[in-house]
Structure 1
Amino acid sequence: GYDTTGTFTDDGKEITSLPFSRLLDAGLYCNNAKVTENKVLGDPTEGALIVSAAKAMMQKGTAERVMEIPFSSERKMMSVVVKQDDKYIIYTKGATEVVLEQSYRIAQADKEVPLVTKDKKDILNINHTLSTKALRNLGFAYKVMSADEFEKLKADEKQLEKGLTFLGIQGMIDPPRIEVKPLIEQCITSGIRVIMITGDHPETAKAIAGEIGIKSEALSGDELSKMDDAALSKAVEKISIYARVNPDVKLRIVAALQKNGHIVAMTGDGVNDAPALKKADIGIAMGITGTDVAKEASDMVLLDDKFSTIIAAIEEGRGIFHNIRKFVVYLLSCNLAEVFIIFFGVIILQNLVLTATMLLWINVVTDGIPAVALGLDRAEKGIMHYSPRAFQTQIISRRLWIEMFIFGIFLSVFVLGIYMINLKESMRDAQSAAFTALVVFELVSIYLIRSGYRVAFFSNKWLLISILVTLGLQLMILYIPFLANIFSVNPIGLDDWMFIGLASLWLYFAFKLIRIALDKILPKD
């Protein structure tokens, strides 16, 4: 236990032993982080070691750091040498099992004794128990040297780190953010598989993964290194937790997933993550804690380092895909209908149903303004429940081509129908009615297209405004003499508006029934 006076206790008894102080010292000196104004500058794990020492009222003394052997994912440990008076002390921290391999003695109470096999087993069992509680554990050791000994060993880093005295383990917990578990569940529902790759102990990785909803066995980097590519390709389909991995193994995991046909997004913040970030289909670097190397190797940088931002980006990307599809389908279906109208008008009626000015107006205003507003639709409700494969298809599928063709035929039939009804009065009246009908029918098609998605009818205010503006401009063309002369149109009567209204309703509901029939014959993507 611990109380705010700086006292650590074990079963109510105060801990005052020298090894305990040495253990905190090791965490304090073998450290590159700083804590200022209650904020950690540097690695959060190292910041936690500074805090644990501070709780015992301990701070760095006058000892001067003279050498550092940096941490690497291959070595899995870090060492520093500090000069204290006329002695040199090496402090080492790292994976408990690795530090134990470098240790020949163990500190007990007020003495140091040889580190025997039984002691190593006991320590590793304790380390395993702590790991199952989701604690990230670091082993600590030290060695005191004279100036002469240090001078002889400093050129050989491997020898310098041998013959250490094991001090103990510091376990710390980095609890997952509350929002992560529901986000993982959302990923699973969406067909997105989340894989954890970490440098932590396998049991720690499994415990943390279990807390956030990732259920899988764990494989260590050593186990993966022994696998050939064929075995790894099979393993990555079943295993979602990888622990104690080095950069080469991360790269192999990404490559194996890609070889199996998966689209891989990789997140990382360190220099060691750069190769895998570069290899992945989408490399995502952390903007706050990420190194410059990781950011350069990635395709995307998270400014807030939050997993939720990735999920929000996926949802936004899916919404953009749908909006592009709606935009393209709207423009193509309208233009296809216009082609049919002109073609059949010339072939059957031997007349131009629409003038060049009318067609230009329709393409620029009636098609253009609502199409832009259509691209501002929000992502549909439940879009994250779809499989990722639904967004890896062509923008215009075979089903959509069939729908556009059928709609184009329907629309052209009604436009040609109102044209023929009014042709007995005059060519100008017929063209005016056909022109207006086409504008209204194309606006109706917008809501027909949107009805295939789970979006509220009035959810896009810009679309509503664009439709009202388009209709307003059409009315101005019809009923303001100056504009009517420019477009060579006459005002249309109430009977024409009734025909257009009834035809619009028929188009909408008839096409909905056709979609139901198509669902049985040719399902959507």
Structure 2
Amino acid sequence: GQGYHTQGDIFDGDSRASPAALRDVLLPLALCNEARLDRGQLIGDPTEGALLALACKGGLDVAAELAQAPRVAELPFDSEWKFMATFHQIGDMVQIHVKGAPDVLLARCRDVATDLGPLLLDEEWRQRMLNQNGQMAQQALRVLAVARKLIPASAFDRNADLLTYVDELELLGLVGLIDPPRPEAREAIALCRRAGIKVKMITGDHKLTAAAIAHELGLEGEAISGDELDGLTAQQLQQRIGQIAVFARVTPEHKVRLVQTLRGAGHVVAMTGDGVKDAPALKSADIGVAMGITGTEVAKEASSMVLADDNFATIVNAVSEGRTIYDNIVKFVRFQLSTNVGAILSVLSASLLGLPAPFTAIQILWINIIMDGPPALTLGLDPARPGIMHEAPRSRDQAILGWHRFGRLALYGATMAAGTLALFVYAQAAGRSEQYAHTLAFSTFVLFQFFNIFNARAEFGSVFNASLFRNVRLWGAIVAVLLLQLLVVHWRPAQQVFATTDLLPKDWALAFAVASSVLLLDEGRKLLQRHWPARRG
């Protein structure tokens, strides 16, 4: 059968298995279960849904079975005892159905069901079952044991401690389930590794099962169980946690301890969870991520964000988006500051050199409007640059403006100021009018921003890469600003407002050439840096 549909068959090798032969082992799967199936749709936990579908495909009529043996009490699954038990009234007897971790139930079983009837679960049988459990776990199967017990109704008190009744059980068999990792999960984990993000699996499954699944996913490192974790001191765990990739058979307390240990080592920790008991660990992590589909309301309330599709790959995509957003914020800040530094240095240097101010007040206002507007804002829409997920995470203490970065911004500003003033002096020396000199300096500074915005886009790699033309809005803004600048310089009504005059074509060409120097000089710096790497900041 397929999915959670109840139609299907169970095969023993090449032949169809007899429903009667499977009844004893399938009955606990159907009755010790909280899930419901409705026309192939699951209501409840996926694991319990799979077990219920298996029982139905084995020929059990769940509704009829519950009518004959109504549930009178239950012991919900708990990570402390690692099994679930339900109690059913059958005449003057109460039958207990149990499913849970094989190693735990084996310790509570006295007998084992065989073709010859119940036999004593001696050491030989116990070892056979443990070996079978290990073999199934190594195939990445999540293994559950099922057991039962029959007691007189007169000896049962539903208000008593139900845990005391779950002993001297009869072991019925082992059931293996597999939840194949999503195809994109392995690729997402590989991308995390390249991005310097360590992924650790924390699960309640058997250690061998967890290790097999981790191997399929490409997780590299040791696997330890909750019992082994209990045997480690805080110092030992901190020393080993970097080499451990899988933590199996863990309790909620273990999860909190792992989060706190990783944070104590200076890591930024994101924790995923869906259950009520995951809430403390979700709250302890830097970023708690609850499952949106299978997650409980308690888990969602305790988390920082909710994963709508319960897909690990979506978390990795969110990391990429986050890095891109931060990267674009840095681009915006670098562009804005370098523009302002250039304008300040231009005006200040002119005063120190005894020159008139290169811009009028209205021209400075125009520079701020057109360059702080659409071109700067479209930097925030830049796509992720190549290799953004191949870099190690930045330190949480890293400032947006380090000394190295601020030094580069000062260099950009100085280049723009020098070029602007050079053409301002050139126009005066050539006998042009003061209005012409102002117009040439003004236009040169605006053109500097066209080239400088590409410096902001690519701080370390060359701007001439595959992403050069990907931000269509940025190119649209640049073209629009260029057309507006031509309008300001050559349209008569605008000339009266901005105190500009027509520029000669050769002076436009000269302004473009000088303005491009800020880009060419920075491309030279980055070329040298690739050959002689310097510290980035």
Q: How far is 1:355 from its partner?
A: 1.4
1:405 matched residue in structure 2: 410
2:12 matched residue in structure 1: 9
* Aligned-pair Cα RMSD in Å: 2.1
Tell me how far apart the structure 1 counterparts of residues 343 and 16 of structure 2 sit (CA, whole Å). Answer: 89
Map 1:467-486 → 2, pairs under 5 A? 467-486=478-497
Q: Does 1:24 align with 2:31?
A: no
Tell me how far apart the structure 2 counterparts of residues 74 and 303 of structure 1 sit (CA, whole Å). Answer: 29
Q: How far is 1:372 from its partner?
A: 0.1
2:56 matched residue in structure 1: 54
Tell me how far apart the structure 1 counterparts of residues 466 and 303 of structure 2 sit (CA, whole Å). Answer: 34
The answer to whether the Cα contact below 8 Å between 2:345 and 2:414 also exists between their aligned partners in 1 is: yes
The 3-state SS of whatever aligns with 2:382 is coil
The answer to whether the Cα contact below 8 Å between 1:190 and 1:387 also exists between their aligned partners in 2 is: yes
| Farther-moved stretch of structure 1 (388-397 vs 472-481) | 388-397
Q: Does 1:290 align with 2:295?
A: yes
The 3-state SS of whatever aligns with 1:284 is strand
Structure 1's 300 and 167: CA in aligned 2 closer, same or farther, altered over 3 A?
A: same
The answer to whether the Cα contact below 8 Å between 1:334 and 1:367 also exists between their aligned partners in 2 is: no
Q: Does 1:146 align with 2:152?
A: yes
The answer to whether the Cα contact below 8 Å between 1:154 and 1:160 also exists between their aligned partners in 2 is: no
The answer to whether the Cα contact below 8 Å between 1:378 and 1:455 also exists between their aligned partners in 2 is: no
Tell me how far apart the structure 2 counterparts of residues 263 and 41 of structure 1 sit (CA, whole Å). Answer: 36
Map 1:219-258 → 2, pairs under 5 A? 219-258=224-263
Tell me how far apart the structure 1 counterparts of residues 271 and 323 of structure 2 sit (CA, whole Å). Answer: 19
2:115 to 109, 129, 132: 109
Q: Does 1:261 align with 2:303?
A: no
The 3-state SS of whatever aligns with 2:353 is helix
Query: Partner amino acid for 1:435?
Result: F
Aligned pair count reads 523
Q: Does 1:156 align with 2:168?
A: no
1:448 matched residue in structure 2: 455
CA offsets, 1:169-215, max 9 Å, x none? 11111111111112211111111111000000000001111111012
2:47 to 45, 48, 55: 45
TM-score when scaled to structure 2? 0.93
Tell me how far apart the structure 1 counterparts of residues 453 and 10 of structure 2 sit (CA, whole Å). Answer: 71
The answer to whether the Cα contact below 8 Å between 2:448 and 2:516 also exists between their aligned partners in 1 is: no
Q: Does 1:385 align with 2:387?
A: no
Query: Partner amino acid for 2:368?
Result: N
1:513 to 513, 516, 524: 524
Q: How far is 1:376 from its partner?
A: 0.6
Query: Partner amino acid for 1:360?
Result: L
TM-score when scaled to structure 1? 0.95
Q: Does 1:493 align with 2:493?
A: no
The 3-state SS of whatever aligns with 1:111 is coil
Tell me how far apart the structure 2 counterparts of residues 429 and 34 of structure 1 sit (CA, whole Å). Answer: 83
Tell me how far apart the structure 1 counterparts of residues 58 and 342 of structure 2 sit (CA, whole Å). Answer: 80
The 3-state SS of whatever aligns with 1:108 is coil
Query: Partner amino acid for 1:55?
Result: K
Q: How far is 1:485 from its partner?
A: 0.8
Unpaired stretches in structure 2, ≥5 consecutive residues = none
CA offsets, 1:403-432, max 9 Å, x none? 111111111111011111223422211111
Query: Partner amino acid for 1:41?
Result: I
CA offsets, 1:336-375, max 9 Å, x none? 0000001011121342211111111111222322000111
The answer to whether the Cα contact below 8 Å between 1:318 and 1:391 also exists between their aligned partners in 2 is: no
Q: How far is 1:379 from its partner?
A: 0.3
Tell me how far apart the structure 1 counterparts of residues 368 and 501 of structure 2 sit (CA, whole Å). Answer: 21
The 3-state SS of whatever aligns with 1:138 is strand
2:202 matched residue in structure 1: 197
Query: Partner amino acid for 2:154?
Result: D
Q: How far is 1:240 from its partner?
A: 0.7
1:503 to 514, 517, 521: 514
Q: How far is 1:521 from its partner?
A: 6.8
Query: Partner amino acid for 1:309?
Result: T
Tell me how far apart the structure 2 counterparts of residues 392 and 284 of structure 1 sit (CA, whole Å). Answer: 23
The answer to whether the Cα contact below 8 Å between 1:8 and 1:56 also exists between their aligned partners in 2 is: no
CA offsets, 1:1-49, max 9 Å, x none? 99x874543685845666x312100011111111112122211111111
1:118 to 111, 114, 124: 124
The answer to whether the Cα contact below 8 Å between 1:26 and 1:93 also exists between their aligned partners in 2 is: yes
Q: Does 1:33 align with 2:44?
A: no
CA offsets, 1:250-290, max 9 Å, x none? 11111111111111111111112111111111111110011
1:439 matched residue in structure 2: 446
Q: Does 1:429 align with 2:431?
A: no
The answer to whether the Cα contact below 8 Å between 2:10 and 2:16 also exists between their aligned partners in 1 is: no
Tell me how far apart the structure 2 counterparts of residues 472 and 198 of structure 1 sit (CA, whole Å). Answer: 61
Tell me how far apart the structure 1 counterparts of residues 479 and 183 of structure 2 sit (CA, whole Å). Answer: 45
Q: How far is 1:523 from its partner?
A: 2.8
The answer to whether the Cα contact below 8 Å between 1:81 and 1:90 also exists between their aligned partners in 2 is: yes
Query: Partner amino acid for 2:471?
Result: N
The answer to whether the Cα contact below 8 Å between 2:113 and 2:119 also exists between their aligned partners in 1 is: yes
CA offsets, 1:100-156, max 9 Å, x none? 1221222222522322222111111111111111110111111112220113x7512
Unpaired stretches in structure 1, ≥5 consecutive residues = none
Query: Partner amino acid for 2:502?
Result: P
Tell me how far apart the structure 1 counterparts of residues 353 and 9 of structure 2 sit (CA, whole Å). Answer: 96
Q: How far is 1:59 from its partner?
A: 2.2
The answer to whether the Cα contact below 8 Å between 1:216 and 1:240 also exists between their aligned partners in 2 is: yes
The 3-state SS of whatever aligns with 2:266 is coil
Q: How far is 1:514 from its partner?
A: 2.9
| Farther-moved stretch of structure 1 (422-431 vs 121-130) | 422-431
Tell me how far apart the structure 2 counterparts of residues 13 and 512 of structure 1 sit (CA, whole Å). Answer: 72
